[in-house]
Amino acid sequence: MNSPAVSAEATSAAPLPRALPAWTYSHPEMTRLEIERILKPSWQIVCHMSAIPRPGDYATLDLGPESVVAVRGSQGQIQAFHNVCRHRAARILDGTGKCPGTITCPYHGWTYRLTGELIGMPVRESFPGLERSQFSLRPVRAELFLGFVFVALSGHPPPLAQVWGDFAQDFTPYRFEEMVPLDATYHEDWDVDWKVAMDNYLESYHVPIGHPGLFRMFTPDFEDQAFRPGIGRSFGWMRDNPSSKWSERLYQRFVGEVAQELPESHRRRWGFYSLLPNLGIDVFPDQMDFFQVLPRGPGKCTIRGGTFGLPADGRVLRAVRYLNARINRSVQREDEFLCRRVQRGLASSSYEPGPLSSLESCVLEFHDLLRARIPEARLANAPSHFA
């Protein structure tokens, strides 16, 4: 029960910020506008550059109705294009793979250079007067940063070096650029709105209750701080007390051994970084991963991600990475379980947006971004039409 003093203070304080209204988490027009106004004009990871090491290697990224392909050219450069044939729109490439020197559409066989120019098509004479130079694959703005290929589908987001600023120095000791994929890119479909999954990642307030394993192993700092606009960070500090679970205990015991090149403070911590609107980067002493939360329609999303490590080997490192993957699989299942419960609760007529704590400041920043780009998100109920 509150003491009278606390109650008096609470009534004089400014009203607490509120989460987004429930309708925004399942509305088709919201999803469409979120893709157009928030996700397309932001930096999205396609792949790590080591995933496409040789000329002709490619990786694709699907985002809503869009698809992008990043291709390694014959000079070693990486370029990105809309993955859409200039003839009659066929999707050209899927997943990841290798083009044999040229990119050929699977429909009628239009063929493009790795640099996007249209080279030719079957029955060329059936297109009299066609100017090949007018039908190159459409380029997409791409940047290499921290060893990853990022693309921005629209708008003018500032260069990534400017977005991250000095903050990127946090990653320097880990040498992301020298890492290689430890596994194929994964895609997990969750029956929750992409914003529910992102809200969940943007705070550690849920860790002690929602992730008992993480809490056995780590003291979370809880402070998901927005150090720069759009960028959040929190740390889990490894406890000295061994966990009661064997996998966690072994990880605690051996992880320091495989991270001797890292500064001592980094050997016993897990770092969780976010870049609004939809990117998470987890940094462990033994490996790192990224994931993106991509809308798959209202109330549905796909988690796309991958795990990367320095190309070292050794029995202890293999064991530590195995344990890390095992622990993080549980965390992922717990997050999905929690997010599904939120999505179900949001459908209840009884729910009104609840207050956000100061430990949820990154969630607030995310919601404020949504409110700024889609002003209807401020309304308590869905409007009959959007501006």
Binding positions for ligand FES, rule: CB under 6 A: 85, 87-88, 90, 105, 107-110
What angle (nearest 5°) sits at the alpha carbon of residue 341, between those of residues 31 and 357?
A: 80
C-beta closer to ligand FES: residue 43 or 110: 110
Return the range that interacts with Fe ion (CB under 5 A); candidates 7-15, 110-118, 292-300, 328-336. Answer: 328-336
Residue 203 C-beta: closest distance to Fe ion, Å: 9
Question: Does residue 66 interact with Fe ion by CB under 5 A?
Answer: no
- Closer residue to ligand FES (CB): 63 or 121: 121
**Residue 199 is a binding residue for Fe ion (CB under 5 A):** no
> Least distance (Å) from ligand FES to the CB of residue 95?
18
Burial of 156 (0-12, 13-18, 19+ CB in 10 A): exposed
Q: Which is nearer to ligand FES, 107 or 322 (CB)?
A: 107
Dist. CA 244–CA 213, nearest whole Å: 9
Candidates 93-101, 248-256, 301-309, 330-338; binding stretch for Fe ion (CB under 5 A): 330-338
- Per-residue H/E/C for 102-132: EEECCCCCCEEECCCCEEECCCHHHCCCCCH
Residues contacting 246, CB < 8 A, separation 6+: none
Q: Which of 335, 360, 365, 376 binds Fe ion (CB under 5 A)?
A: 335
108 contacts which partner out of ligand FES, Fe ion, none, CB within 5 to 8 A by kind?
ligand FES
Q: What is the DSSP letter of 87?
A: T
Q: Which does 266 bind (CB under 5 to 8 A by kind): ligand FES, Fe ion, none?
A: none
C-alpha 359: how far from chain center:
21
Q: Hey, what are 166's tokens? A: 């000095």
- Choose among Fe ion, ligand FES, none what residue 90 binds, the Cβ cut-off being 5 to 8 Å by kind: ligand FES
Q: Tell me the β-bridge partners of 62.
A: 67
Distance CA 368, CA 363 (A): 9
Q: Which residue's Cβ lies closest to Fe ion?
A: 335
Q: Report the partner that residue 87 touches, choosing among Fe ion, ligand FES, none (CB closer than 5 to 8 A by kind).
A: ligand FES
Partner in contact with 246, chosen from ligand FES, Fe ion, none, beta carbon below 5 to 8 Å by kind: none
| Chosen from ligand FES, Fe ion, none, partner binding at 224 (C-beta under 5 to 8 Å by type) | none
Question: Contact region for Fe ion (CB under 5 A) — 2-10, 121-129, 134-142, 334-342?
Answer: 334-342
User: How long is the chain?
Assistant: 387
Nearest of 148, 155, 159, 141 to residue 82 by alpha carbon: 141
Distance CA 247, CA 320 (A): 9
CB of 103 to ligand FES, least distance (A): 10
Smallest Cα–Cα separation from 307: which of 293, 325, 331, 330?
325
CA dihedral angle for residue 333, residue 274, residue 153, residue 19, rounded to 10 degrees: 80
Q: Does 224 help bind Fe ion (rule: CB under 5 A)?
A: no
| Pairing relationship of beta strands 225-228 and 218-220 according to DSSP bridges | unpaired
Cα separation, 351 vs 315, whole angstroms: 51
137 or 198: whose CB is closer to ligand FES?
A: 137
Q: How far is the CB of 105 from ligand FES (least distance, A)?
A: 3
Which partner, Fe ion, ligand FES, none, binds residue 335 by CB below 5 to 8 Å per kind? Fe ion
* Residue ranges that bind Fe ion, judged by CB under 5 A: 335
